[in-house]
């Protein structure tokens, strides 16, 4: 026994040291990722903070950095997101309701499910190519807000469907059984009981999908939103630019001042995104507290 | 009797409206299939037109990509090379770091630390890619230039690093889910045999979650493959068959952006190239995603 111990002891010390090292390594790498976020935020703030003021928010883009602003980009993004929400939320929630509440286990339905999972992995630039060919050219919508919103809707539809399905699935069966037991039809059950209970979860998913849409750039570049736009869109068929596109435009110029303008745009974009994420977290926490089951 | 009749017709009407609603909902679910079909048809149509002019062989194996300059040449290898460099480079960063973060989150972190670091990773995942591109161009590249003076303004290394940072939260979060699905009893069994936490993690927990971990890697890499804005901003627009990460390159996605920024008339071969390159990109990511889903489904250890 003691012979065994002697044999083991130095080894044990080494094994313990390895375990300790490994633990510190894992923790260190995690906090390194967190530190990177801090570096990114500090860098952007230092570059762009001096540029964000009322004049920046209320001016059109310009050749002169001092006079340039994000008015058209900001309004373009608001238009784009409003239309995208109008199109994609009803469509996504309807598809989720069908798949969770109405669909039987059939071949078509499992095909639809696999298809949605694969669509979620398609690069956003491919959606841009689709939007260019179908909405811009075939439907002849041109480089309009509507074409952009339709493209964006297709892009975030899988996200909305998957989040909504999860929220609907979390509603306990007993609620549906109770509704059926007093004679409600399937749709009545869904409308009056399942959807209201699933609403916070659906809403969280929808907000996260919208915040993805706000930051997406590649599909909009594809459908040609990257032009000099010095006006605010007044209808869904007007040309537009959007915040991430304006940022891309400024960042791809060689001059230092335009890089700082890009940083200013990024600050505005991140503030909007942070606000949306905070709203999503708030809704999630409130609904968790209020959950009735 | 008179009260029964109206309820009966009401019932019938309800059944019909029920069927109608079901049909409408079904149409929305089918929309996703139409999207896939649309992508395939749109890409295939122009790709077929492209291959009428250029042979498949010279596209797939040609080593010069100069569709916008005379003499035109349509060998996609330089673009593929650029994309693969970014994928491999970002994997070198994101896979070890992401897995280590996942191990920390699921095996070591106290609930409090978890509650702090997990939302931060989520924020990191929600930052738009154009912001990462800006970060690469104005921060990572200058730092690289300080360390390695031969670095070009646009280079593959900077793009790879920033894409690595970008997909890291995805790797961490998916691996974390996979590791946490391994039941505690397996860990307790390993500890009871005298294993240290390091041995338990590397020989029991990670192997037990291997299908989820591998699927996470593949999904993250397919995202790196399709990543566009950060790569366009940081890696440049020089299709080049090189392995030097400090040189300017061009990825498939960056090429598509470059053409769509210019005024390329419809029907020309330049216009068709974006669909052909898009089709190649779509095929590769689709295969990666199908592989990931298969791995996840078929090699999953099922724990009771």
Enter the tokens of residue A140.
Answer: 């002849």
Question: Looking at A1-5, B181-185, B191-195, which range is the least confident one?
Answer: A1-5
- Asked if A119 is an interface residue toward chain B (Cβ–Cβ < 8 A), one would say yes
Q: Which residues of A touch B271 (CB under 8 A)?
A: none
> Nearest C-alpha of chain A: how many angstroms from B269?
15
Cβ–Cβ below 8 Å for A119 and B119 = no
Cβ neighbours of A40 in B, within 8 Å: 127, 131, 135, 139
A80 at the B interface (CB within 8 A)? no
Average pLDDT, stretch A161-186? 93
Write down the pLDDT at residue A79.
Answer: 94
| Model confidence pLDDT, tens digit, residues B128-154 | 999 999 999 999 999 999 998 888 889
CB contact (8 A) between residue B260 and residue A130: no
User: Under an 8 A CB cutoff, do B130 and A99 touch?
Assistant: no
List phi, psi (to 5°) of B65: -120, 95
Please tell me if residue A208 touches chain B, with a CB cutoff of 8 Å: yes
**B-chain residues within 8 Å CB-CB of A224?**
260
Q: Cβ distance A198 to A168 under 8 Å? A: yes
- Specify the 3-state DSSP secondary structure of A291: coil
Q: How far apart are CA A186 and CA B108, in angstroms?
A: 46
Are residues A122 and B131, on separate chains, in Cβ contact within 8 Å? Answer: no
Region B285-297: mean pLDDT is 86
What are the boundaries of each domain within chain A?
Answer: 2-50, 54-290
d(CA A12, CA B97) in angstroms, rounded, equals 27
pLDDT digits (tens, 9 = 90+) for B74-96: 999 999 999 999 999 999 999 99
Contact in structure between A95 and A113 (CB atoms under 8 Å): no
Residue A223 DSSP SS3:
coil
pTM of the predicted model as reported, rounded to 2 decimal places: 0.89
Mean pLDDT of A215-233: 82
- Number of A to B CB contacts under 8 A, please give it: 260
Average pLDDT, chain A: 88
Write down the CATH superfamily of domain A54-290. MetI-like (1.10.3720.10)
Structure confidence at residue B301 (pLDDT): 65
Write down the pLDDT at residue A292. 56
DSSP chain B: -TTHHHHHHHHHHHHHHHHHHHHHHHHHHHHHHHHHHHHHHHHHHHHHHHHHHS-HHHHHH-S-B-TTSSSP-B--HHHHHHHHHHHHHHHHHHHHHHHHHHHIIIII--HHHHHHHHHHHHHHHHS-HHHHHHHIIIIIHHHHHHH-TT--SS-HHHHHHHHHHHHHHHHHHHHHHHHHTS-HHHHHHHHHTT--HHHHIIIIIHHHTHHHHHHHHHHHHHHHHH--HHHHHHH-S-------TTS----HHHHHHHHHHS-PPTTSHHHHHHHHHHHHHHHHHHHHHHHHHHHHHHSPPP--
Q: Which of A263-277, B20-34, B158-172, B254-268 is predicted least confidently?
A: B254-268
**Residue B302 pLDDT greater than 80, yes or no:** no
Predicted-complex ipTM score: 0.89
């Amino acid at each position: 026994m003691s012979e065994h111990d002697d044999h083991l002891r130095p080894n044990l010390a080494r094994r313990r040291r390895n375990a300790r090292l490994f633990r510190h390594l894992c923790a260190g790498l995690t906090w390194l990722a967190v530190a990177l976020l801090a570096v990114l935020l500090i860098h952007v703030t230092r570059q762009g903070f001096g540029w964000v003021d009322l004049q920046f928010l209320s001016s059109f883009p310009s050749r002169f950095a001092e006079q340039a602003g994000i008015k058209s980009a900001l309004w373009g993004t608001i238009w784009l997101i409003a239309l995208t929400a109008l199109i994609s939320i009803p469509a996504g929630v309807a598809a989720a309701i069908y798949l969770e509440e109405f669909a039987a286990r059939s071949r078509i339905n499992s095909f639809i499910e696999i298809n949605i999972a694969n669509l979620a992995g398609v690069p956003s630039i491919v959606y841009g190519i689709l939007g260019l060919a179908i909405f811009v050219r075939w439907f002849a919508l041109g480089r309009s807000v509507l074409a952009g919103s339709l493209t964006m809707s297709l892009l975030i539809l899988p996200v909305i469907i998957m989040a909504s399905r999860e929220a609907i699935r979390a509603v306990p069966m007993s609620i549906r059984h109770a509704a059926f037991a007093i004679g409600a039809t399937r749709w009545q059950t869904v409308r009056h009981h399942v959807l209201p209970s699933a609403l916070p979860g659906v809403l969280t998913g929808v907000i996260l999908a919208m915040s993805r849409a706000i930051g997406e750039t590649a599909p909009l570049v594809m459908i040609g939103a990257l032009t000099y736009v010095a006006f605010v869109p007044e209808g869904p068929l007007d040309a537009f630019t959007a915040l991430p596109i304006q940022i891309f435009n400024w960042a791809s110029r060689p001059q230092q001042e335009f890089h700082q303008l890009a940083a200013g745009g990024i600050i505005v974009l991140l503030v909007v995104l942070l606000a949306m994420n905070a709203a999503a977290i708030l809704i999630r926490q409130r609904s968790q507290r209020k959950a009735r089951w | 009797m008179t009260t029964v009749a109206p309820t009966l017709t009401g019932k019938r009407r309800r059944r019909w409206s029920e069927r109608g609603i079901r049909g409408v909902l079904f149409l929305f679910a089918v929309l996703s299939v139409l999207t896939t079909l649309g992508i395939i048809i749109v890409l295939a149509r122009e790709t077929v037109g492209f291959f009428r002019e250029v042979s498949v062989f010279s596209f797939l194996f040609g080593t010069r990509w100069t569709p916008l300059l005379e003499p035109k040449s349509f060998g996609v290898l330089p673009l593929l090379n650029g994309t693969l460099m970014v994928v491999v480079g970002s994997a070198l960063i994101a896979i070890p770091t992401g897995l280590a973060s996942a191990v920390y989150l699921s095996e070591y972190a106290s609930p409090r630390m978890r509650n702090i670091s997990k939302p931060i990773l989520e924020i990191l995942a929600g930052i738009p890619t154009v912001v990462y591109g800006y970060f690469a161009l104005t921060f990572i590249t200058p730092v690289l230039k300080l360390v390695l003076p031969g670095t070009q303004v646009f280079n593959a290394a900077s793009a790879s690093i920033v894409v690595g940072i970008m997909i890291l939260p995805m790797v961490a979060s998916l691996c974390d889910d996979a590791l946490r699905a391994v039941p505690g009893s397996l860990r307790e069994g390993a500890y009871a045999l005298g294993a240290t936490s390091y041995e338990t993690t590397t020989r029991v927990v990670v192997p037990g979650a291997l299908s989820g971990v591998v699927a996470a890697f593949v999904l993250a890499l397919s995202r790196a493959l399709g990543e566009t804005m950060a790569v366009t901003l940081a890696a440049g627009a020089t299709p080049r068959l090189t392995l030097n990460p400090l040189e300017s390159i061009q990825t498939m996605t960056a090429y598509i952006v470059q053409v769509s920024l210019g005024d390329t008339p419809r029907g020309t071969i330049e216009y068709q190239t974006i669909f052909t390159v898009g089709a190649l990109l779509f095929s590769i990511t689709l295969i990666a995603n199908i592989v990931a889903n298969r791995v996840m489904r078929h090699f999953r250890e099922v724990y009771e």
